[in-house]
Amino acid sequence: MKKQPEEHEPLTIGARAPRIEDDRLLRGAGRFVDDIDVPGQLHMRVVRSGVAHARIAGIDTSEAAAAPGVQLVATAADLGSSDPIPLRLDFGVDLDAYLQQVLATDRVRYVGEPVAVVVAEDPYRAEDAADLVDVHYEPLPPVLDAREAMRDDAEQLRDGAGNEVICIEKSFGDVDEAFSSAAHVVQAELSVGRHTGTPMETRGLVADWDAGRGHLTIWGAALVTHYHQRVLSRLLDLPVSKIHMRGTDAGGNFGVRGDFFPEDFLVPWLAMRTGRPVKWVEDRAEHFVSINHAREQVHRIEAAFDEDGRLLGLRDEIWHDKGAYIRPTGLVVSEISVGMLPWPYRVPAYEGRIHVVMTNKTPVGPYRAPGRYEGTFAREHLLTIAARELDMDPVELRRINLIDRSEIPFAPDLTIGGEPFVLNSGDCVGLLEKALDAADFAAWVEEAEEMRAEGRIAGTSVAYFVDKSGLGVYETAGIDIGVDGSVRILIGGASSGQGIETVMAQIAMSELGVPLERVEVVHGDTDLIPDGVGSWSSRSTVIGGSAVLNAARATADKARRIAAELLEAAVEDLVLADGSVHVLGSRERGVTLGEVAAACDTVSSQQRGETPGLGAREIYIDPQMNYPYGVAFAQVEIDPDTGHVDVRRYFCAYEIGKAVNPMLVEGQIVGGVAQGIGGALFEELSYGDDGQPRSASFMDYLVPGATEVPHVGTLVSEDAPTPSNPLGAKGAGESGIMAVGAAVAGAVGDAVGDPRAVHALPLTPERVMRLLADTRDPVS
């Protein structure tokens, strides 16, 4: 970062800049999809299955079609094409039999599956009519457990394709030898419940069909916009150029919204079909059964150790309940689960297998730290158990097994996300020491001991984690500077409230020296930004930010070239600051960026042999994913009367390589911890024996609030910039949540005196009462 001679620090890379999007968002002036209205619009209502598993014997839409205000009622038979929704992340496995149709044809496989749609003059009438669609179901036995689904006598969800989609295996080293020669083998069976991300804003879409031009405009496909555009082109048989996706604000994502869902097809299709704009805003009751669910894994995990507690081998067999269909993100969560499991430890031999299994529940996709929340819990809790069985300090056991900085780059024979896994930067032990110090973890341990001495039930724990960031190879960016000096940054990513606008502006400003208030960041508009990969996999800063950096550098270079001409100065003497280009050390010898942009008029540019305008378009291609890492500490106290777990203290240290905005990184960590506490203690999407969702509202799906989340201590470390991108930055979005399940479970295990008693998350009051009974039973 270059130092510039301003009176106040410029809000460039590394600054704790206030978010530029907050002004509108906090004043309630954001523009979300439900704020978009097009004159003449109709409203869509989806008729969803109320049954988990059934054959559809018939659908009678006559009463609904005759209801007041109804324009159209459609079922699968009306769609014409029966193409399923295609994969976005394709690992070359044939999954056609498992993909979801837009509307169910002859069979429904989960409660909430779209069966028919109604469009009417207002949302009330649409819902009235949807209630009148008469679907005749012949119920089938539901399959609700992944391991049971794999049994030979299990009910099959599909004819001609088994309930187990695939078993993905990853291994290296001689695992059998490791276990047979081990001094100690430690085993556990650990499960994580079914969660989802519960963004504040539910999904929604508005589509406007211009029949004359054959042109479709769509608002609301907020997160992987260009992918949506291409899928729609294919499913609607429209040229990509005729589909214009428009950006809006989006109230949260957390990964669960980043798929192409049936409604993403239905809304534009209905607009074309009816010739009128169509709007749909998902209600929260629909959201709970239609958005991607996540997690729900069972791990049977074991580790082999030598005499001194050094890891010799690791084995894990995982059952992953993927729900009723494979959605566009395909097998990525399962693949990452088994690929990321061993890290950050020096594991000489590993064998991981994951069974991807279909059940009669809502499909499962990515959610913040997919596969890692679960895997970190399984691995770290196993280590916590091992520390007890080997009579070692849990911190020490980890310390001696962490990959050492001398072993970097660390490249075992393993692929993740289709590319070789390489830990190319880092100092895991160094971060552990810094974190122990910063949190004063020894004092936490001591405090818990004192509490136990007073008869209270308290415990502490440590959990290490590794994230991956930057899947998706490339991103596009553009910068345009207007003749008034205003700056517009175009990005292929998307804003979901995470602060990407501020981050991209800060990156651009590091090269352009323009005050943040002169900057606008534009995203999600396919007419302005013809290509983009989107915001997921903690990739926006890493890949999108690198693209913006390159575009800003190209723009600054051009500004210097033109200004050199205008000022009759040498290019290398010019600096960009405060919205102008001037000679270093001589501020009065300068021109504003607006003047430079004006000088880039078409005629002058032609004469100079340059492209007109001041700006640049760049594509950044990332050579490999990066692997940020961190360590978390937790201290909990259990109420013996209720089984309530109070998280008293939580600390998360994180190596980010380079923090563009440390305040936002801390915010990501703290928010992630809050969400992680949800999965550790409160949140679970439960199903009854009949496959009915039993936590389909915020009354029963318990998201932690301010009173359930402690102050979260953070340490953002920048010791190990990644060499793979020009910023040196690693992803931040999934950091905080990663180890919470592991840390809370470990602390509960410590509190009750035996981590082996903990088998499952979330640790509900009843589960905790049971493990209290199990561990306190004095056998007397």
Residues that bind other proteins (CB under 8 A): 47-52, 111, 122-124, 127-128, 131-132, 134-135, 137, 139, 283-285, 641-644, 682, 684, 686, 688, 690, 692-700, 702, 704-705, 707-708, 764-766, 769
Nearer to other proteins, 44 or 463 (CB): 44
Nearer to other proteins, 120 or 166 (CB): 120
Q: What angle do CA 341, 342, 348 make, to 5 degrees?
A: 150
Measured in degrees and rounded to the nearest 5, phi and psi for residue 717 equal: -105, 140
8 A C-beta contact, residue 689 and residue 139 = no
Minimal distance, residue 28 CB to other proteins, in Å: 14
8 A C-beta contact, residue 632 and residue 740 = yes
What's the rounded Cα separation, in Å, for the pair 15 and 663?
Answer: 8
First CA to last CA distance, the chain: 67
What's the rounded Cα separation, in Å, for the pair 165 and 91?
Answer: 13
Minimal distance, residue 44 CB to other proteins, in Å: 13
Minimal distance, residue 290 CB to other proteins, in Å: 13
Nearer to other proteins, 622 or 684 (CB): 684
Minimal distance, residue 123 CB to other proteins, in Å: 5
What's the rounded Cα separation, in Å, for the pair 106 and 263?
Answer: 19
What's the rounded Cα separation, in Å, for the pair 175 and 303?
Answer: 10
Beta strands of 386-486 (E only): which ranges? 415-416, 419-420, 457-466, 474-481
Nearer to other proteins, 313 or 671 (CB): 671
Which residues is 486 bridged to in the sheet?
none
8 A C-beta contact, residue 739 and residue 380 = yes
Minimal distance, residue 46 CB to other proteins, in Å: 11
- Residue 780 burial (CB count, 10 A): 3
Residues in Cβ contact with 315 at an 8 Å cutoff, skipping those fewer than 6 apart: 175, 179, 301, 302, 303, 350, 351, 352
What's the rounded Cα separation, in Å, for the pair 223 and 532?
Answer: 10
Minimal distance, residue 133 CB to other proteins, in Å: 8
Report which of 686, 688, 679 is spatially closest to residue 742, judged by C-alpha positions: 679
Query: Tokens for 116?
Result: 């028919």
Measured in degrees and rounded to the nearest 5, phi and psi for residue 438 equal: -65, -40
Report which of 217, 338, 223 is spatially closest to residue 291, judged by C-alpha positions: 223
Nearer to other proteins, 426 or 693 (CB): 693
Q: Which helix (H) or strand (E) covers residue 270, if one does?
A: helix 262-274
Minimal distance, residue 284 CB to other proteins, in Å: 7
Minimal distance, residue 126 CB to other proteins, in Å: 8
Nearer to other proteins, 45 or 355 (CB): 45
Minimal distance, residue 611 CB to other proteins, in Å: 50
Nearer to other proteins, 108 or 552 (CB): 108
Map residue 446 onto helix, strand or coil: helix
Which residues is 74 bridged to in the sheet?
117
Minimal distance, residue 435 CB to other proteins, in Å: 29
Nearer to other proteins, 205 or 732 (CB): 205
Q: Is the peptide bond before 239 cis (omega within 30 degrees of 0)?
A: no
Report which of 410, 536, 412 is spatially closest to residue 471, judged by C-alpha positions: 536
734 is catalytic: yes
Catalytic residue among 286, 684, 734, 766: 734
Query: Tokens for 120?
Result: 């009417």
What's the rounded Cα separation, in Å, for the pair 78 and 118?
Answer: 12
Nearer to other proteins, 193 or 532 (CB): 193
Query: Tokens for 16?
Result: 């704790």
What's the rounded Cα separation, in Å, for the pair 775 and 626?
Answer: 41
Minimal distance, residue 720 CB to other proteins, in Å: 38
Nearer to other proteins, 80 or 141 (CB): 141
Nearer to other proteins, 6 or 122 (CB): 122
Nearer to other proteins, 492 or 704 (CB): 704
Query: Tokens for 573?
Result: 């003497």
Residues in Cβ contact with 263 at an 8 Å cutoff, skipping those fewer than 6 apart: 44, 46, 114, 203, 205, 280, 282, 290
To which residue do tokens 């509900």 refer? 764
Query: Tokens for 636?
Result: 């909990």
Minimal distance, residue 359 CB to other proteins, in Å: 17
8 A C-beta contact, residue 761 and residue 679 = yes
8 A C-beta contact, residue 635 and residue 698 = no
**Residues with active-site annotation:** 734
